[in-house]
Amino acid sequence: MRILVLPGDGIGPEITAATLTVLRAAADRFKLDLDLIEDIAGHESLQRYGTTVRPELLEMARAADGLVLGPTATFDFNPAKGEINPSAFFRKNLDLFANIRPARTFGGVPSKVGAFDLVVVRENTEGFYADRNMEQGNGEILVTKDVVISLRRITRQACTRIARVAFELAAQRKRHVSAVHKANVLRIGDGVFLDECHAAARQHPGVQLDDYIVDAMMAHVVRAPSRFDVIVTTNMFGDILSDLTAELSGSIGLGGSLNQGDDYAMAQAAHGSAPDIAGRNLANPYSLIVSASLLLAWHGRRSKQTAFVEASAAIERAMESAISAREITRDIGGKLGTREAGAALAARLKSR
């Protein structure tokens, strides 16, 4: 498996290094043929090449079996100057339409809401985000200096395929899908989304479907997240909801994120680049490690190589063990630095 690795900005290089330590340990234990190709994107690329994402990186990503993207300082980049958001660039150009965001509790990490294990499946290519809902130009329009119109794009095709992914995932889990929407106000767009969720339910008669208005869902998921299995929703609602569920697990640093399409996939930490702690060996590497583990499983299922799926499951078991033993970073109750947490997890992975 060839993986293009772009460490990104801020804490990105630190958590990426820890992630690669774990991937190499998994490769050793499960005899995986891993080819890790490192390059740059974000601020380092801007300084060296004058652009945050070089055009050839897209072809490198297409030629690879997967992409690992560390957090990038997207808020710093000015699209008017050609400074591209790397995450949006790869999501759009590789058509990574499904953002898979698992969230679960771990023994040893305090949770105020009880144990749960769920996955948010978020549509990734359209919606309200101005950088991905137009073929050309920006989805926000400055009508006057005091009036802004933001366009939201919803297509039946995108709703159909995100519903399909959610139901296929639920069929492998607890056979329950919850669709989150605002169809009481956004009647047409979210109406199309709900229509396609119900169509997918008819194709998967063994999977239960229910639906929730997004504001009510926020209350439900805080009160009793254990009620949910697979949650499917549109882009902006999914962005907010997946951060909430990751934090409910104990820390957003535990939340994985896989951006997948029919042909490509990109592992990406669920959090930002945290420049305030960059270079201090403080960051929790688990979010990117979980994401890379999801990438291994995606490749294994797609290529019918069970060793990659087994390696992914072993990484999760090693995480559970390391958390129980407090071989973790300070944000979740441990005393280790970023490098040490990655090394401890790799050691457990090799020994089990």
User: 146: exposed, middle or buried (C-beta count within 10 Å: 0-12, 13-18, 19+)?
Assistant: exposed
Nearest 5°: CA angle at 336, between 348 and 110? 85
Which of 65, 129, 212, 229 is the catalytic position?
Answer: 129
| Residues of the chain with confidence (pLDDT) below 70 | 130-133, 352
Given a contact cutoff of 8 angstroms between Cβ atoms, the answer to whether 320 and 39 are in contact is no
CA dihedral sign, ordered 250, 125, 276, 39:
positive
Given a contact cutoff of 8 angstroms between Cβ atoms, the answer to whether 229 and 176 are in contact is yes
Residue from 224, 203, 106, 131 nearest 160 by CA:
203
Given a contact cutoff of 8 angstroms between Cβ atoms, the answer to whether 92 and 102 are in contact is no
Residue from 41, 106, 120 nearest 316 by CA:
106
pLDDT, position 130: 63
Give the contacts of 336 (CB within 8 A, at least 6 positions apart). 327, 328, 329, 330, 344
Q: Helix, strand, coil shares of the chain as percentages rounded to 5?
A: 50, 20, 35
Give the contacts of 260 (CB within 8 A, at least 6 positions apart). 96, 97, 98, 100, 165, 266, 298
Residue 137's SS3 state is coil
Active site residue 182: yes
Which of 28, 33, 35, 215 is the catalytic position?
Answer: 215
CATH of the domain spanning 1-95+263-352: 3.40.718.10
Which pair of tokens denotes residue 300?
A: 């294994």
CATH tag for 112-248 (out of 1.10.3720.10, 3.30.565.10, 3.90.480.20, 3.40.718.10): 3.40.718.10
pTM: 0.92
Fold match flag (1-95+263-352 vs 112-248)? yes
Question: Distance between CA atoms of 118 and 185, rounded to whole angstroms?
Answer: 27
Domain regions of the chain by residue span: 1-95+263-352, 112-248
pLDDT, position 131: 65
Given a contact cutoff of 8 angstroms between Cβ atoms, the answer to whether 248 and 111 are in contact is yes
Which of 39, 95, 131, 243 is the catalytic position?
Answer: 243
Which pair of tokens denotes residue 105?
A: 């509790």
CA 150 vs. chain centroid, Å, equals: 25
Given a contact cutoff of 8 angstroms between Cβ atoms, the answer to whether 96 and 260 are in contact is yes
Active site residue 215: yes
Given a contact cutoff of 8 angstroms between Cβ atoms, the answer to whether 327 and 341 are in contact is yes
Residue 244's SS3 state is helix
Residue 114 falls in which region: left (phi positive, over 0), alpha (psi -120 to 50) or beta: left
pLDDT, position 352: 67
Active site residue 146: no
In Å, how far are 60, 99, 228, 248, 255 from 121, measured between CA atoms?
A: 27, 6, 12, 17, 13
CA dihedral sign, ordered 88, 91, 93, 95:
negative
Torsion (CA) 268, 119, 97, 55 in degrees, nearest 10: 0
pLDDT, position 278: 94
Given a contact cutoff of 8 angstroms between Cβ atoms, the answer to whether 337 and 281 are in contact is yes
**pLDDT tens for each residue of 115-160:** 999 999 999 999 887 666 677 777 888 999 999 998 899 999 999 9
DSSP 35-85: EEEE---SHHHHHHHSSSS-THHHHHHHHSSEEEE----GGG--GGGT---
Which of 9, 229, 239, 264 is the catalytic position?
Answer: 239
Which of 182, 211, 212, 264 is the catalytic position?
Answer: 182
